[in-house]
Structures are given as structure tokens and as C-alpha cells.
Structure 1
Amino acid sequence: MAQSVVYADLKFAAGPPSTVPDEDDSPYENVPLGPVTAAPSPGGNPAAAAAAGTPRSAVVAEGPRGDACGCWSLAGRWTRRWRVPRALLAASLLLLLLVVAVVVLGAYYWQVTRSLQDTSREHMAEQGRLSQELRAREQSLEQTQLELAWAREELQRVWHEYNITQTELESRNAELGHTQQELAVLQEEVQVVQGKLNTSKSLVSSLRACVNTDCCPSGWVLYRSKCLYISMAKKSWQDSHQDCAERSAQLLVQDDWSSLLVPVRSRGVVYPRRVG
């Protein structure tokens, strides 16, 4: 019997390594172990075994089949007890990995979402700025178009005024040319009149000089404020009258005049001569 117990202890000691949990973790810690009746062996006494009060493990180890069946039964139970926690551990690990993956994906999704939101806000802000700039450009373009239309109208008005002014200028130039022609004619007339005036002035001056100095033309004799031309040759009345007309003078008719003594110039000497 002592040999059987030692063999059982050795069998338990030679079992699986320290994968057996503590007694605190055993699901059978609160289960009382009662006496187990062993199968009658051909060489043993069942009554002696029951009277001795041997524990379950010792009783199992005593039987001839206990060495083979009892130890393997306990090892299978311990193995079955630890298969479930390993699966749970794997499932927990997988779940943890899934949670970590979900957290990582959630964080990445949050970052991407936030980046997209920031990009969307920037895009909206840029779109608003571009819209404002486009409206400003459109307003500026409309203002420029209005100014261009006004400038075109002003240009047309100025061009029309220029055409009118050009027409008036041509008309005034024509009038100026006509006036210049008239002025040239008037200048010629003025020159002619000026020449006549100069001649008249010269004549008046000479007459005044003659009056002031009692002078007569060459060959004429001043007598009682009259210039007389006395011919040295005898001529008939008609010839004398014609000669006086040629000299722009009048023939002196004596009529009732008495005989007169008039001075006669001859070689610078004045001789009195009776006319009658």
C-alpha cells in the first residue's frame, strides 16, 4: 500500500508542468470530497478498504486500474479546465485588438473628418472671398462699361461738334479768302488813291509855294496874281487859243482893258511890254 501511494505521488509529480492553478482558482474548492467506493479487485478485500477510510485519491491510486485510469482522468480534467480560459484570452485579445483598431480607425476618421471640415471651411471661406471678389469685379466691370458708354457718347458729341466747327472753319476760311481778295482790291484802290493824294498834296504844296513866293512855271510871268505866257511870235487868235489850250491855260482877252505893261523875261532880264 505504501508503494502504491508513493507511485501515485510520483505520477502526480511527473504530470504536466506548473500550469495547474492555485486552489483558490479551482472550481471544485467548495465541493466536499466524500469516500468513493472502489471497484472490487480480484486480489483485495473490499471490506478492509471501506473500514480503513482511505481518501479518494489514495483509494483511486490503490486499485490496479487506478494507476492507469485515475491519474489520466485528473490530468484530463485539469486540461479541460484550462482550455476555456485560453479561448477566452484569445477572444479577449482579439476583441482588444479590434477595440484598438476601432479606436485607431476612429481617431484616424476623426482626424480625417476634422481635416475635411477644416478644408471645407477653408474652401467655403475661399469661395466666399472669391465670390466677393467676383462681385466686386462685376461691379467694377459694370462701372467701366457705363463709363465707356458715357465716353463713347461724349466722343460722338465732341466729334459732331468738331464736324460743325470744321464746317464753320471752312466757311470762315472761304469768307476770309473772299475778304482778303476784297482787301487786296481795297489796298490797290488805297494805293491808287494814296498816289492821287500824294500827287494832290504835291500839287497843293507847289501851289502853296507858288502863292507864298509869287512864282509861276518856267517861261510864265506873274502879273496881278496871274501867270501869263507871252508868245514871242505873232499868231492868229485861233492859233493862240489852241496854243493856250495845249498849255492848259486860257487865252487872255483884253476886251475893255486898257493897254497894260507886263514884264517880259528875256535871258534873265525883265523888260516891260505893252499888251494891247
Structure 2
Amino acid sequence: MAQSVVYADLKFAAASTLTAPTCPAAPDGDDSPYENVPLGPVPAVPSPGRWPRCWRVPVGLQAASLLLLLLLLVATVSLGACYWQVTRSLQDASRQHAAEQGRLAQEVSAQEQELEQTRLELAWATAELQRAWREGNSSQQQLAMLQEEMQKVQRELRASESTVSSLRACVNTDCCPSGWVLYRSKCLFISVEKKNWWQSCDDCREKSAQLLVQG
């Protein structure tokens, strides 16, 4: 059996407009063997031999990125320098603290020797006083002088004992508050924060201290 053939009248629009023109109406839609097929927009296809279009980064964005990287580098170097400076200051303070402890230990040893010498002098004065009493040859004036000398030696002994006790306390325990360092019999507070003159004075006043000025 023969198959029926249907013809389609296809009309293509110009490539520049990419729109289908309006087709005229058929004289008789039921009797015409032709059909008008409207065409939609034709998608743009890149021509052969051409590469897709590349996007370029704006020059301002590149400059801003380089500036940001430079600022980050400068900030990193500055933080490293500050860390090195603080570490060096702490190391110097630790060495000074160790030297101060050694000096205090020497002073304690010297004071102990002086205390022992004072005790010997007191023993000698007591022996002389007892001998003077036993012999009965000394006068009241000599006895008063010996008593006065003995009292003087006793006062020196008590002062030496007090000094030795305070020095021992400084060597065996920390004389300064937490966070302070001992330097030449003084407690120093080394601040790692950067402050101006007035802020430093106010900070020292709050800590009941005085601002140290290095010449």
C-alpha cells in the first residue's frame, strides 16, 4: 500500500535577526498539503577556529591585591620584630635577676661574717666586764664605759641580725610581687605594652610605684 507524503514549507529567517517571520495564512488549511512551521531563535554557536572569550582581571583589583599582600607582609615583619624585642627584654631581665640574686648572696655572706665578728666582740666585752667585776680593780667610770660599749655592741648585733634576716628572706623567697623583678634591691615592673609618657605615669601611680627613667 502506498504511503502518503506530506510536504512542509520551511522558511528560514535571516541570521542577524534570529526571529521567524510571520507566515501568510493558507487558503484552506484542511485541503492544503503544505504546512508552515515557525522557527524559534537560533542559538548562537561560536564559529569554528575561535576560542571562547577570556575574562581579564581589572588592573585596580590586581593593585589592591598586591597592596593587601604588602600590608600583610609588613604586619608580619612588625609582629616578628615586636616578639623578638619582648623576648630579648625578658632575657635581659632574667639575667639581671640572676646577677642580683648572686649579689644578694654575697651581701648575706658578708653580713653573716660581720655578725660573727660582732658576737665575738660582745663575748670579749662580757668577759672583760666579768673580769673587772672579779678583780674589783676597775673604777665606776671604767665600768660605765664597759657597760655603754656592751650596749652599743648589743644594738649593733640586733641591727645586724635584722639585716641578715631581711636579706635571707629576699634570697630564699621572692621579695617582689608577682610579675615584678628584683634589680639592685628594687622591684621593677617591665611593661610589654607601648604607652606614652602620661599613660606610663598613670600606670605606675596605680601600682603605687614610680616611673624609671634611663639616662
What interval of TM-score do these two structures reach, taking the shorter chain for normalisation?
0.3 to 0.5
Report which of the two has the higher share of helix. Answer: 1
Which structure is higher in RCO with an 8 Å CA cutoff and minimum separation 6?
2
Which structure has the larger Rg over C-alpha atoms?
1
TM-score, scaled relative to structure 1: 0.31
TM-score, scaled relative to structure 2: 0.38
